Structure 1
Amino acid sequence: MSKFTLKRWAITALLGVTMFGSAHTAMAQGNATVAPTTPLIGNEGLTATAWVQSSAEAKIAARQAYRMATRQLDVALKDKNWSAALEQGPSFKKLPPAIILDLDETVLDNSPLFARMARDNVTYTDEGWLKWTAEGNATAIEGAVKFLNYANNKGVKIYYISNRASEEEAVTRANLQKLGCPIQGPEDHVLLKGEQNWTSNKSPRRSFVAQNHRILLLVGDDLNDFVSARSLSIAQRRELFDKYADNWGERWVLISNPLYGSWEDSIYGFKSDLSPQEMLRLKYGVLQYREPTAPIANTTPANR
């Protein structure tokens, strides 16, 4: 999970409101309506959270992504020349098949945490994140559990590569098992940041898996789940999209995540010390406006 971009939950300066620094009450259990514990205010993440949690479109997008992954898994299993990892070595045809997935907002849905933050008018903190993961209350992204069990039943090795910290592994495993996500063994299949000196760059972990497996699919919610895009500008990220255009929807499956991600880091130039006002200014700076023009000619509907 990219925690850098979660600073945007504090951006309220231009809305004329103040955000408080600590939560007031715990999230209600089950599907109870989230009632604010402080006066209602604007929140940059509120619309994204509402979309993830309430829209049919969010479920549709995730479900169709995992249905695509299921179809492509079968194609990849039959084609021994197939690999999804740029880190794959030359002699992989006889290696056992594996898939690699990110966790947060790919398999695990953390939107209840974001709803809690919006309700309580609080900003993101590392301490708050660790408390959340310790609860083990992340839900499953639509379609994820079904796909994972399908792959497991096909004999495909499943590796989770996440930037959760290594000290979160026990609670992460417990959360996955609670949801019915397969965790294979005996070797470690949950590869987190901080293990074996791994940094937030996921490429070395993909290389680690690719040494002994043919990688069939990559599934994630961030460009870095597929190719290293650390510190790249918006333009450079789009160049990567174009460069690997044939992989999207075939070997690489993206899960939509409007809550946070390196896409937002790139808007800020990967600077972590910006003020809320400066972060908002940079966001407005990437908007592509169209000034009003005269109506397009000949707008009278044709006779039918």
Structure 2
Amino acid sequence: MPSAVADDAIPGEGLNNGLLWAVAWKQTAAEYRALCYQAYNLARMRLDDALQRHKVSDRPLAIITDMDNTMLHVGSYWGYLINENKDFFDDAIWDEWLPNNLVTAVPGSREFFDYCRENEVDVFYVTSRNQGERTYEYALAQLKYLEVPFADEDHLFVFRESSDKTPARDKIAEDFDVVVLLGDNLNDYKRDFYVKDVDERLALMERDRADWGTKFILLPNPTDGNWVRAIFGESEPPPTDENRRKLKAAATRLAWDGR
């Protein structure tokens, strides 16, 4: 039988780090890459459908995409956290890491955005970040570093003071017919999803189930996002023992009792 000490153990440093599995999966799993390709292949199918229906007199077509973990792969940041025995997102390290342009393209993203450009479909990049006065500069530099299409000020929206991307979506929709929205977080699609309760968030997702794979295309991200906020009440919870217990409780919502 497991000891009482083992039963009460709290994930933390070293091999007990709760981020290890998630980061290892994003770094190595063929399944992760396959899911990314699947998402962008599906986006291309939706775009092809829209192009076939599109008439010269219609409004121009557009794609809206989130940046981090949707089209920017930020794996070296998470690898650094693991090496530093961090088991929660660290905002100070993130702010230090971001300006170094250590991003790579999420599998399938570059090819899809190139396809958009070839078919005269605009791509808009929408992100919520805050690294001070140079936040916009850093975000634009990353797009230019990856040499993706539409890496310019006309196609980049950056929100420093809020994670609500609704103003950008509404502004783009004034002039364009938005085919799909790409993201790794439900908040990338609607502000409705920005809630602090796991079950409420699940219910809202179910309400819009017809939009998944049609209007909303979701990339996999097991390391961060507003699903974290639903568990802890904040998107970047501090690495406390109390929060580690909350994480364990979330992971054992469904658990065999061994009998």
Q: TM-score, normalised by structure 2?
A: 0.85
What is the aligned counterpart of 1:70 among 37, 44, 47? Answer: 44
Contact 2:226 2:235 in 1 (8 A): no
Matches within 5 A, 1:227-238: 227-228=190-191, 229-238=193-202
Aligned partner of 2:28 in structure 1 is 54
Deviation at 1:182, TM superposition (A): 1.1
Aligned partner of 1:264 in structure 2 is 228
Aligned partner of 1:175 in structure 2 is 142
C-alpha spacing 1:277/1:118, structure 2 compared with 1 (3 Å): same
The CA distance in 2 between the partners of 1:155 and 1:239, in whole Å, is 37
The CA distance in 1 between the partners of 2:81 and 2:127, in whole Å, is 22
Once the two structures are superposed, what CA deviation does each residue of 1:178-233 show, in whole Å capped at 9, x if it has no partner? 22311255x52110113xxx621111211111111111100000000111122342
Deviation at 1:274, TM superposition (A): 6.5
What is the aligned counterpart of 2:188 among 219, 225, 243? Answer: 225
Contact 2:228 2:235 in 1 (8 A): no
C-alpha spacing 1:132/1:275, structure 2 compared with 1 (3 Å): closer
Deviation at 1:42, TM superposition (A): 2.7
Aligned partner of 2:211 in structure 1 is 247
What is the aligned counterpart of 1:145 among 110, 133, 142? Answer: 110
C-alpha spacing 1:95/1:184, structure 2 compared with 1 (3 Å): farther
The CA distance in 2 between the partners of 1:262 and 1:244, in whole Å, is 17
Moved more, 100-109 or 112-121: 112-121
Deviation at 1:111, TM superposition (A): 1.2
Equivalent residue letter for 2:70: T
The CA distance in 1 between the partners of 2:106 and 2:147, in whole Å, is 12
Contact 2:144 2:151 in 1 (8 A): no
Judging by fraction of residues, say which structure has more helix. 2
Matches within 5 A, 1:126-141: 126-141=91-106
The CA distance in 2 between the partners of 1:72 and 1:276, in whole Å, is 44
Higher-Rg member (1/2): 1
Contact 2:231 2:246 in 1 (8 A): yes
Report the secondary structure of 1:162's partner residue. strand
Deviation at 1:275, TM superposition (A): 6.5
Flag structure 1 segments of 5+ consecutive residues without an equivalent: 1-12, 18-39, 82-92, 294-304
Report the secondary structure of 1:211's partner residue. helix
Q: TM-score, normalised by structure 1?
A: 0.73
The CA distance in 2 between the partners of 1:253 and 1:236, in whole Å, is 21
Deviation at 1:80, TM superposition (A): 5.5
Contact 1:219 1:252 in 2 (8 A): yes
Deviation at 1:16, TM superposition (A): 6.5
Contact 1:173 1:183 in 2 (8 A): no
Deviation at 1:251, TM superposition (A): 1.3
- Work out the number of aligned pairs and report it: 244
Moved more, 42-51 or 283-292: 283-292
Aligned partner of 1:205 in structure 2 is 168
Query: Are 1:159 and 2:124 matched, yes or no?
Result: yes
The CA distance in 1 between the partners of 2:235 and 2:32, in whole Å, is 30
Query: Are 1:42 and 2:16 matched, yes or no?
Result: yes
The CA distance in 2 between the partners of 1:274 and 1:180, in whole Å, is 35
C-alpha spacing 1:16/1:79, structure 2 compared with 1 (3 Å): closer
Report the secondary structure of 1:14's partner residue. coil
The CA distance in 1 between the partners of 2:184 and 2:129, in whole Å, is 14
Flag structure 2 segments of 5+ consecutive residues without an equivalent: 1-8
Contact 1:136 1:172 in 2 (8 A): no
Deviation at 1:72, TM superposition (A): 0.9
The CA distance in 1 between the partners of 2:129 and 2:208, in whole Å, is 27
Equivalent residue letter for 1:68: L
What is the aligned counterpart of 1:191 among 144, 151, 157? Answer: 157
Equivalent residue letter for 1:212: D
The CA distance in 2 between the partners of 1:79 and 1:280, in whole Å, is 51
Query: Are 1:108 and 2:75 matched, yes or no?
Result: no
Once the two structures are superposed, what CA deviation does each residue of 1:90-115 show, in whole Å capped at 9, x if it has no partner? xxx93211110000000001111110
Aligned identity (percent) is 28
